[in-house]
Amino acid sequence: MKIAVVGSINMDLVTHVQHLPKAGETIASHHFELIPGGKGANQAVAASRLGAHVSMIGMVGEDENGRVMLGGLTDAQVHIEGIKCSGTTGMAFINVSDDGENNIVLVPGANALVSTEHIADNLSILKDSDVVLLQLEIPMPVVEYTVKEAARLGKLVILNPAPARELSSELLTHVHTLTPNETELSILTGMPVSTIDEVHAAAKKLLSGGPKRVIVTLGEKGALLITADEATHIPAFRVEPVDTTAAGDSFTAAFAVGITQGMTETEAATFASKVAAIVVTRNGAQPSLPTFDEVQAYSF
């Protein structure tokens, strides 16, 4: 089974700090790293390491960061024929605290140059895939066009709505699965999400827009899988977090892999929860992503 990932490719500039800075506060970093990232690239690498055949459509810059990103994707056995080079590679400035929390500032770079024409030039990749996986770090018109074309081709569309922004009703009607976290769910619906009941109500609102299922990732509380018929709580696997970067990306990618491997949606979400738990025990985005064998062997 094949997965096409359409989305962002960034170089992550990661500063490790004792605590996340407050407004107006200056603090010192005790460690700095350059790590390949970007939600699209993270999801592509995650799915490939878990055993899927993955092709990616996106853009990097004509610079050293772009060359590093393409090399990393190739090393992870992601097919890169759909990636174009122009401008400067996107970047993410990430602060990671000693307790594993993070905040992120994005510089879109070449990601902002991804166009509908670029997608149209690579429709063969969508046609050859079973699942099309997207995020929101490329221009929204491109996301909408890709989702519409993927649906027209009869593909299962999974959208990770991050960073959260308004989603049109037309887009939602073509999406099979949405995977927001709590914050994104609240932004998308304008509803409170401080309790499981509130999360359920907000997810039901999204569900009414057209998706077949909404999976809300809840961090250490696991995830909530909601369909028109039922809501299923997926428990979290208990670990000591080191860095939560790419946890959501790995969850979405692992769910997609599970579905392509014939798992039920509950089995796929449980598998995804296990993958995300492993990711938060490791530093960095792509370096933290496990292989399928590592997931199977991991002892919680």
> pLDDT tens digits for 179-204?
999 999 999 999 999 999 999 999 99
User: Is residue 99 flagged as an active site residue?
Assistant: no
Range 2-22+30-297 has CATH code 3.40.640.10: no
> pLDDT tens digits for 8-40?
999 999 999 999 999 999 999 999 999 899 999
Q: What is the largest CA-CA distance in the chain?
A: 51
Question: In 3D, which of 255, 7, 239, 2 has the Cα closest to residue 127?
Answer: 2
Going from N- to C-terminal start, the domains of the chain cover 2-22+30-297
Is 219 annotated as contributing to ligand binding?
A: yes
What are the respective helix, strand and coil percentages of the chain, to the nearest 5?
40, 25, 35
Model confidence, pTM: 0.93
Is 288 annotated as contributing to ligand binding?
A: yes
Q: Of residues 245 and 38, which shows the higher confidence score?
A: 38
> What confidence score (pLDDT) does residue 100 get?
79
Is 217 annotated as contributing to ligand binding?
A: yes
Residue of 121, 128, 249, 293 marked active site: 249
Is 266 annotated as contributing to ligand binding?
A: no
Is 184 annotated as contributing to ligand binding?
A: no
